[in-house]
Amino acid sequence: MSTEPIPLGEALASFDTPWSPRIVTRVNDYDVRIAKAEGEHVWHVHDHTDEFFLVLDGELHISLREPDGERTVLLPRGAVFTVPRGTEHKPHAPSGAAFLMFEPTGTPTLGDRHDGTAHSVHSTTGQPLNT
């Protein structure tokens, strides 16, 4: 973990792979991850943790499967949203987006359960940031 400030613009410019989060720092037992999004992720669920999103650039869509049915939330730049634990969700960014997440260290990007895989989605618990 760096003991110096981390410019998020430079951190985002240091990689191009969509849906492959980079760990920028840690807070207690949580990773602070940044990611780029393009196209669709997969339906997945985190059984034991909420998932916090802050959109840094573009617009992120998150489809949710809830007890009352399916809905999609639209998150423009600067918006925050938390997906409650146990909620099936599928992030997607038709025009591309960049976002920041808080997740417990070791949380897999494909969740505890997921529907298949997408060509552009990597299964990871976050990769170190190499700026």
Does residue 85 belong to any structural domain of this protein? yes
CA distance between the termini of the chain? 12
Is the pLDDT reported for residue 113 higher than 70? no
| Token pair of 69 as six digits | 């049915």
Number of domains in the chain: 1
Does residue 1 belong to any structural domain of this protein? no
| pTM beyond cutoff 0.75 | yes
Does residue 121 belong to any structural domain of this protein? no
**Which residues constitute the domain of residue 95?**
24-110
Is the pLDDT reported for residue 119 higher than 70? no
Strands 69-76 and 30-40: unpaired
| Token pair of 13 as six digits | 């410019």
Does residue 131 belong to any structural domain of this protein? no
Does residue 36 belong to any structural domain of this protein? yes
Is the pLDDT reported for residue 118 higher than 60? no
Domain at 75, CATH number = 2.60.120.10
Q: pLDDT tens for residues 98-108?
A: 999 999 998 87
Rounded CA gap, 53 and 25, in Å? 15
